Amino acid sequence: MLFLANYIPDEKVSEIRQAVDIAEVVSETVLLRKAGKNLVGLCPFHAEKTPSFSVSPDKQIFHCFGCGSGGDVFGFVMKRDGVSFVEALRTLAQRSGIEIPERALSPDDQRRLKERDTLFEINRLALEFFCGALRRDPAGPAALGYLNRRGVGSQAIEAFKLGYAPRGWDTLLGFMTERRIAPVMVEKAGLAVPRKDRSGFYDRFRDRLIFPIFDETGRVVGFGGRVMDDSTPKYLNSPETPIYTKRKVLYGLQRAKDRCRVLGSAYIVEGYLDLISLHQAGIDNAVATLGTALTPEHIRLLTRYAGRMVLVYDSDDAGIRSAQRCVELFWKEHADFRRGDVFREDQADTRILVLPEGHDPDSFVRRHGAEAFQRLARSAPGMVSFLTENAVKRYGLTAEGKIRVVAELRGPLAAVNDPVAQAFYVQQLAERLGVPEAVILQGIARRRPSGPSSVSGASEPAARPAALAEGGERFERRIVTMMLQFPEMIPEIIERRIVECFADGPMKRLAVDIIAGGHRSGIPVADLLSRVEDAVRRQQLAELAMSDEVWEPKGCRTLLTRFIERRRKKVARRSLQQEIEAAEKGQD
């Protein structure tokens, strides 16, 4: 990209891009199928049932016609992993066995990447230490006994790399010191805490079962610790670090993602042991949140692998409150992810499973088995049904209670973008409450958002090229597409000063990007995208580049001639109008 030109040569970026196949990289996340010259699949960046995500193996680019995401292989890895361009470049370079010289990176990038490498190494060593302590520490047998009493077998202990943190105050620190890891870096990894008198550090995890937390690629990013008695806090988790952000990580995803992709569905639970218990029972498409409520980032991450979700909660008050908050997320915070379409037809498969009283996922599946759990999940209500029943339980079916139920559900129902789905939900609510549908619809009309920005402050989505193709921009759009698809015409476009005739706007900026990026010299579209710094313009270029239109010189010149003639007539009309206005003013 342009802002890296001073550090990483374009030749090195191109070398890395040519060494990887975007189709192979994308297929690790998306199930792709052949569709003409391209490959299509469900978009990993927004939830959908009909594939709108397309990959061009020939051009080495991707584009989603649903959410507008697009770019080259670097852009895909950046968006998928939430990393910078340099980190995406480095990931793909390592995959291809290509070295990036340190001098090719800016000092800040060198420092940041070195720190990340060190933190990953510290976590790897800590995992080795905790797993070893479970087997060798004097208190290890007690920890194993606790796991066995909780129904966690040896295979699960090995699969999830469970461990034990010894009682000592600095046992892990001593282990790290022997390996020349500075205590301050152990603290930065979240594994040590400064003493109050600032005289040193002590281990964060002591006398606890340890649950390592992996990212989706299998790297250890943090740890969770659980006591084995009634002391508090029961759970202690790693703080956020440069490599660990809890709202972006799901426990168990590195093991569950393949099954989620195959089955098209996922269970989301709230605890380590709940998750492990489900996997032991054969429900291996389950993941867990990490001491936080479900977040938009979690959903965005999981929808790369599963279109259907079952959110599982305990039946106690805390569980119900968690379920309520989660559903609210789908029409408030989650609105940005949906681009305002909060409840759509593809959300009908998102279900809320509140377990029978006295059970959590662990206890239920151990007592009743996986089949009973899955049977309950299939009969679990969707989000609107859950909201309705939850509100009815709280307010009752008195006249006043019905008024309060309708008032509470007007917001989410107003956010339903699909008219058929909305009509179904309104009918469902009207029948449940015994009130006319018209009453509910009137309330919805008053609450209906005017656009995505009115739902929980979601920002206006970036303008898409398709939305800009009306009127005069129709010709400009086709010319820009021609420049991408048939760059042999670019010298003639420059000679005839076509771009200078464009109206100031997105198409003119894209045309300038194409010329400045050297596309006329035969530079591939994927290379061109890497040279465009603005993310919105990269997406617009990717969409235009995915066009299958066939271009030939005669048709191209005809298009250019028609554009010039149209522009000439427009200028003439404007000039005539100005003369008329001037004459009228003179008569006054």
The identity of residue 46, as a single letter, is H
Whole-model pTM: value is 0.69
Residues 393-412 have pLDDT tens digits of 899 999 999 999 988 888 77
Tell me what percent of the residues of the chain surpass a pLDDT of 70.
86
The H or E element spanning position 288 is strand 286-288
Question: Which of 21-30, 129-138, 480-489 has the largest mean confidence?
Answer: 129-138
Which pairing describes strands 192-194 and 163-165: parallel, antiparallel, or unpaired?
Answer: unpaired
Q: What value does the mean pLDDT of the chain take?
A: 83
Residues 337-372 have pLDDT tens digits of 333 333 443 444 688 999 999 899 999 999 999 999
Residues 207-229 have pLDDT tens digits of 999 999 999 888 999 999 999 98
**What Cα–Cα distance (Å) separates residue 435 from each residue in 1, 430, 431, 550?**
59, 5, 7, 58
Whether 277 has a pLDDT exceeding 90, the answer reads yes
CA within 13 Å, CB half, 382: 16
Which pairing describes strands 220-226 and 53-56: parallel, antiparallel, or unpaired?
Answer: unpaired
Whether 562 has a pLDDT exceeding 90, the answer reads no
Is the alpha carbon torsion for 448, 453, 454, 455 positive or negative? positive
Q: Give residue 311's pLDDT band: very low, low, confident or very high (50, 70, 90).
A: very high
Q: From CA 30, how far away is CA 24, in angstroms rounded? A: 10
Specify the higher pLDDT residue, 289 or 2. Answer: 289
Q: Give residue 4's pLDDT band: very low, low, confident or very high (50, 70, 90).
A: very low
Q: Looking at 3-12, 189-198, 214-223, which range is the least confident one?
A: 3-12
Residues 461-497 have pLDDT tens digits of 333 333 333 345 778 888 888 888 778 788 888 888 8
Which pairing describes strands 351-354 and 308-313: parallel, antiparallel, or unpaired?
Answer: parallel
Q: What pLDDT shows up at residue 355?
A: 93
Which phi and psi (to 5°) does residue 450 adopt? -80, -15
Question: Which of 35-39, 122-126, 300-304, 507-511 has the largest mean confidence?
Answer: 122-126
The identity of residue 298, as a single letter, is H
Q: What pLDDT shows up at residue 491?
A: 83
Q: What pLDDT shows up at residue 472?
A: 56
What DSSP designation does 33 have? E
Q: Looking at 17-21, 125-129, 256-260, 584-588, which range is the least confident one?
A: 584-588
* Interval 57-72 mean pLDDT: 88
* Interval 327-344 mean pLDDT: 46
| Domains defined along the chain, listed by start | 2-105 (3.90.580.10), 108-244 (3.90.980.10), 465-581 (1.10.860)
Q: Looking at 14-28, 231-245, 280-294, 331-345, which range is the least confident one?
A: 331-345
Q: What pLDDT shows up at residue 444?
A: 78
Q: Going edge to edge, which strands form the sheet with 265-269? A: 286-288, 265-269, 308-313, 351-354
DSSP-H helix ranges across 150-284: 154-159, 171-178, 183-188, 253-263, 272-280
**What Cα–Cα distance (Å) separates residue 472 from each residue in 489, 510, 545?**
21, 16, 20
The identity of residue 225, as a single letter, is G
CB atoms within 10 A of CB 205: 26
Q: What pLDDT shows up at residue 24?
A: 92
Tokens of 433: 């409450």
